[in-house]
Amino acid sequence: MPSALNSEVLRSALDGTVWRRVDIVEETGSTNADLVARAADGEDIAGAVLLAEHQSAGRGRHGRRWSAPPRTQISVSVGVDTTGVAPERWGWLPLLTGLAVAQTVQSLGVDATVKWPNDVLVGSGKLAGILAEVAAPVVVVGVGLNVGFDASDLPDPNAVSLTMLGHAVDRTELAAALLRTLSERVEQWRAADATLAADYRAISSTIGTRVRALLPGGDEITGVATAVDDGGRLVIDSDGTTVTVSAGDITHLRPAD
């Protein structure tokens, strides 16, 4: 069994960041759901970090469920304070989280990219997924980063893990590095620092790719993703018509598709 996360090391490493409370549980259904529930009960979850050794009912977009063996992922949710930030900029939170994940694993030598709006990829394999939920004035952002499972334990046929990529890592050190980087990106977001958007666009595998966008309500758009705008929305050129997408499921298409 892989080693447990070390709460003392994590709390020490996160001193001076935007995260003011760190909790680790052995098992839960969903760290996102737990933080949202704590907010509904009246707790101030701004700056809260909740990690689970095993997340038995993790959720993706549209309520999709997934799970992985205990201690094979970094399953973490954070509460980001949105006070003073216009709601139209909240859409950047899952994007900057993906950027923080990609940046963290790139430091290990992993060639990671971000797929708009909520995945971190290595090639076509999904290394991490992100889910953001509003519990105003806080947005809860959850990350599932695949660390230690092998091909026989895949929670998703398209998934890939750091172990599968040849990287043996200490999960506590990796979680600390991720949360420190995420703290820095949140501070950039609060300060409206243009570097954040530029850095995101630089490692996007969606920009410049032909995509299919399935929108809420069932509408579908196919075209070339040309940009991520200053509001974090995806801009698609669909046969000469510019369409701006704020939410949707994106599929990267091959040129012949």
| Residue that the structure tokens 């980087």 belong to | 181
- Return the axis-axis angle of helices 194-202 and 92-106, rounded to nearest 10°: 60
Task: State the CB neighbour count (10 A cutoff) for residue 173.
Answer: 13
Task: State the CB neighbour count (10 A cutoff) for residue 221.
Answer: 18
Which one-letter DSSP state was computed for residue 51?
Answer: E
Helix (H, G, I), strand (E, B) or coil at 47: coil
CATH number of 7-202: 3.30.930.10
pTM (predicted TM-score): 0.94
Q: What is the pLDDT of residues 170-213, one digit of tens each?
A: 999 999 999 999 999 999 999 999 999 999 999 999 999 999 99
Domain residue limits, the chain: 7-202, 210-252
CATH architecture of 210-252: Roll (2.30)
Smallest CA-to-CA distance from 184 within 31, 8, 32, 14 is with: 14
Q: What is the pLDDT of residues 67-92, one digit of tens each?
A: 678 999 999 999 999 999 999 999 99
Distance (Å, rounded) from C-alpha 72 to C-alpha 144? 10
